[in-house]
Amino acid sequence: MVGVAALALYAVLPGLIEVLQAWPRLAEIAPGWFAVMLMAELASFGCVWLLQRFVFVGAPWFALVTSQLASNAFSRVVPGGAAAGGALQYRMLTVAGVDTARSAAGLTAISLITTASVLMLPLLSLPAVVDPQVVVPGGLEAAAWIGAGIFAAMFGLGLLLATTTTPLLQLGHLIDRARRRLGRPTDGDLGQRLLEERSVVLGSLGRRWPWAVMTAVGKWLFDFYALLAALAATGDETRTSLVLLAYVAGAVLAMIPITPGGLGFVEAGLTATLVAAGVTPGRAVLATLAYRLVSYWIPMVAGLGAWVGFRSTHPE
């Protein structure tokens, strides 16, 4: 994984260097704009904490906040970090006394909701795409329709798996059969276990699922506002709908489990998509750097502090 990450990072190194070389230009941005960006990012993280509170009813706020910050930072320093970050938060919540079964099911529900919500954002830009008076670059228009299609497919699949039993049972039977043919032992009926786990995941949300969806969407929207503030700080006035499509592309690139936190992929990809949305190259580079500073680098430092604070409160 380290070798693959190194090769991938080398491939996107020119774009990353171009963004990092703009570091001295951050002095051109008024301090007030950094305050706005930080407030937007704090609101984004606040939505995540509130979402976790819906899932882990009764869990201490301190454990939820510190475990999320620490796992978020850890996931951004190791290749394929999403799984590692989830494992770290699972362990921290367990140490804090949160029920392990609830931790596993709750983290699964949160992951599904937040991933689906970012794919829903392109739907907000479709009115601009179909408006004949708005000239949308071909690449961004394709991203809007592809994102909407993926969201519709995921929504349909999720609804099917959440409301019916036959697909999950058949999936479990298929996996059991494949394991037996490969000579791997099976421990019971996997299909029935999948049904039981689904009940736990859905039960972890209960009647709070509309609020859970709202906070999941809020996580991405406030993060998007941070990018808008970065663009406004550079004096850019590109249409918000087009910037949203560029943002979604950057968010998807950050999910690529090759480099830590999508490092290099996001810088190069977000800069390119912002230019495609009509932002001048110089402003696109500076806005990307300012946005990544408040959304990537500062939360990593906060995560380290959260880990130290958690360990001092819950020594193992």
Tens of pLDDT, residue by residue over 285-313, are: 888 889 988 988 899 899 999 999 998 88
User: What is the per-residue pLDDT for 299?
Assistant: 92
User: Which amino acid does the sequence have at 216?
Assistant: A
User: What is the per-residue pLDDT for 125?
Assistant: 61
Angstrom CA distances, 207 to 193, 195, 202, 213, 217, stand at 23, 19, 9, 11, 18
Higher per-residue confidence, 269 vs 12? 269
Higher per-residue confidence, 176 vs 122? 176
Per-residue pLDDT at 153 exceeds 90: no
User: What is the per-residue pLDDT for 46?
Assistant: 94
User: What is the per-residue pLDDT for 309?
Assistant: 92
Per-residue pLDDT at 144 exceeds 70: no
Percent share of the chain, pLDDT over 70: 66
pLDDT band at 52 (very low <50, low <70, confident <90, very high): confident
pLDDT band at 152 (very low <50, low <70, confident <90, very high): low
Percent share of the chain, pLDDT over 90: 12
User: What is the per-residue pLDDT for 70?
Assistant: 92
- Number of Cα atoms under 13 Å in the Cβ half of residue 43: 15
- Write out pLDDT tens, residues 170-228: 877 887 788 778 777 666 677 777 777 677 666 666 677 677 777 887 888 888 889 88
Beta carbons of 137 and 91 less than 8 angstroms apart: no
User: What is the per-residue pLDDT for 306?
Assistant: 93
Give me the torsion for CA of 128, 131, 132, 138, rounded to 10°.
Answer: 40
User: What is the per-residue pLDDT for 225?
Assistant: 87
> Which parts of 206-258 fold into alpha helices (H)?
209-233, 240-254
User: What is the per-residue pLDDT for 81?
Assistant: 65
Beta carbons of 187 and 172 less than 8 angstroms apart: no
User: What is the per-residue pLDDT for 40?
Assistant: 92
Q: Across all residues in the chain, what is the average pLDDT?
A: 76
Beta carbons of 99 and 92 less than 8 angstroms apart: no
Per-residue pLDDT at 229 exceeds 70: yes
Please give the Cα distance from 65 to 53 (Å, whole number).
10
Beta carbons of 194 and 172 less than 8 angstroms apart: yes
Higher per-residue confidence, 222 vs 168? 222
Please give the Cα distance from 93 to 85 (Å, whole number).
12
pLDDT band at 112 (very low <50, low <70, confident <90, very high): confident
Helix (H, G, I), strand (E, B) or coil at 311: helix
